[in-house]
Amino acid sequence: MSEPSPITRAVRAGIDTDLSHGAVVPPVYLSTTYTFEEFGVSRPYDYARRGNPTRSIFADALAGLEGGAGAVVTASGMGAITTVLHALLRPGQVLLAPHDCYGGSWRLFDALAGRGHFELVLADLTDAAVAEQAIRAHRPSVVWVETPSNPLLRISDLGALASLGHEVGATVVADNTFCTPLGQRPLQLGADLVVHSATKYLAGHSDVVIGAVVCRTPEEVEDLAWWANCLGVTGGAFDSYLAQRGLRTLHARMAIHEANAAAIVALLGAHAAVSAVHHPSLPSHPAHALAARQQQLFGGIVTFELHGGLAAARAFMEGLRLFCPAESLGGTESLVSHPATMTHASMPAQVQAAAGITPGMVRLSVGIEDVADLIGDLTAGLERVASLS
Ligand SMILES: *Cc1c(COP(=O)(O)O)cnc(C)c1O
């Protein structure tokens, strides 16, 4: 029999490996410390901050899905980003990042740059000419790519950014939280490292905060593992267990997220209360062709705009029964958020406007409920908006 596919390996990671009792599901190793085999001879695991067998199962399964040499599992997505920044950047070197990156990433980039850890340059990396000019002018040591972006689902060309970045010797890092390795494979497209907020789709049940960095080479795995241990940001055993449990069903969940989102995109596009729908599956999306080329899934996040601004968004969201008003994304349950007053509330109005965030904009994290129920809930919301005018 040939080697099982990465999906099969993710489903079966650690299954039937317990030699003590024959437990089918691997145990959670809670011990903080491990005995020495004999005087001066340590075992593969010695102290749980540095290494833990439960964490390794998740790391290896995720690395398999991304096609990497290995992964470092961290206490959160921000822990993964912290590890990468410390490992790769010194004072005076440049980090080039998207101007509309995840707010927590922006806050960390800005705070560390403010203390002289590195120089930060922000640019619109979805614009090929702007990206090329920024890379040639600033010669960054790290190019940070986040595609699709939040909340507008703008697409950056991973392959083009990787080649340009490599021309100036940069390490190219992709935040693949939105797509997951089933929807996009940044290492295959030329990126060197992939970071994840595994809190979202990978763990998938909105009950654990955890992150990871997947590396192309064993040398990078070793270096980043050293930094994660040194910084003290490695992931906990029980959190790793929950994330691995989520990963077992990733392919099944993503198929339903994708199908439900497609039905919802069709509903929204045909409704008079809606002024715009942002989803890379739509031929009207400015980078639809690029998304179709570099992604295997268009994804379960759908952003749209309502005629009637803030009042319309409020009428729509108040009274939804299945979509919970909450930040975050990627869980089995559907969520709805209002970027202007929730995820992007810290931006002043004119900065929001420049970023394309409007008062009538709503973002859905489409869950895996029965799609007919989701359509019913959203249709009732759109009728409330229509009845306003
Ligand atoms: C949530 C998120 C993060 C941060 O991850 P945490 O697990 O919350 O620390 C980073 N990038 C993206 C794209 C995210 O959505």
- Domain ranges in the chain are 6-247, 250-386
Going by alpha carbons, the residue nearest to atom 7 of ligand 1 is 77
pLDDT at 1 over 80: no
What pLDDT does residue 347 have? 81
What pLDDT does residue 271 have? 97
What pLDDT does residue 346 have? 84
Mean pLDDT value of segment 216-221: 98
Mean pLDDT value of segment 258-262: 98
Mean pLDDT value of segment 11-22: 96
Ligand 1: does its nearest atom lie under 6 Å from the Cβ of 176? no
Ligand 1: does its nearest atom lie under 6 Å from the Cβ of 337? no
| CATH numeric code, 6-247 | 3.40.640.10
* pTM score above 0.85: yes
Find the 116 Cα to ligand 1 centroid distance in Å. Answer: 24
Active-site residue 201, yes or no? no
Rounded CA separation 86/132 (Å): 25
Ligand 1: does its nearest atom lie under 6 Å from the Cβ of 175? yes
- The Cβ-side half-sphere exposure at 53, using a 13 Å CA radius, reads 15
Find the 21 Cα to ligand 1 centroid distance in Å. Answer: 38
What pLDDT does residue 354 have? 85
Ligand 1: does its nearest atom lie under 6 Å from the Cβ of 177? yes
Indicate the DSSP class of residue 205: S
- E-strand stretches of 258-314: 274-278, 301-306
Active-site residue 384, yes or no? no
Active-site residue 29, yes or no? no
Closest approach atom of ligand 1 to CA 150: 13
What pLDDT does residue 30 have? 98
Peptide bond into 91 cis (omega under 30): no
Rounded CA separation 120/123 (Å): 10
pLDDT in tens, 87-111: 999 999 999 999 999 999 999 999 9
pLDDT at 278 over 80: yes
pLDDT band, very low/low/confident/very high, at 389 (cuts 50, 70, 90): confident
Would you tell me how many other CB atoms lie within 10 Å of the CB of residue 262?
A: 17
Closest approach atom of ligand 1 to CA 328: 1
Percent of the chain whose pLDDT exceeds 90: 95
Rounded CA separation 124/136 (Å): 14
Would you tell me how many other CB atoms lie within 10 Å of the CB of residue 325?
A: 12
Would you tell me how many other CB atoms lie within 10 Å of the CB of residue 369?
A: 16
What pLDDT does residue 191 have? 98
Find the 78 Cα to ligand 1 centroid distance in Å. Answer: 6
Peptide bond into 4 cis (omega under 30): no
Find the 376 Cα to ligand 1 centroid distance in Å. Answer: 30
What pLDDT does residue 281 have? 98
pLDDT in tens, 316-339: 999 899 999 999 999 999 999 999
- Does domain 250-386 fall under CATH 3.30.565.10? My reply is no
- Pocket residue to mutate for ligand 1, from 145, 153, 155, 177, most atoms within 8 A of Cβ: 177
Ligand 1: does its nearest atom lie under 6 Å from the Cβ of 330? no
pLDDT in tens, 343-372: 888 888 888 888 899 999 999 999 999 999
What pLDDT does residue 350 have? 87
Mean pLDDT value of segment 71-83: 98
Ligand 1: does its nearest atom lie under 6 Å from the Cβ of 211? yes
Ligand 1: does its nearest atom lie under 6 Å from the Cβ of 82? no
Going by alpha carbons, the residue nearest to atom 1 of ligand 1 is 197
pLDDT in tens, 37-75: 999 999 999 999 999 999 999 999 999 999 999 999 999
Active-site residue 175, yes or no? yes
pLDDT at 167 over 90: yes
Ligand 1: does its nearest atom lie under 6 Å from the Cβ of 235? no
Residue in 9, 49, 139, 384 annotated catalytic: 49
On whether the CB atoms of residues 81 and 194 are closer than 8 A, the answer is no
Ligand 1: does its nearest atom lie under 6 Å from the Cβ of 343? no
* b/e 73-91 (16+ beta carbons within 10 angstroms → b): bbbbbbbbbbbbbbbbbee
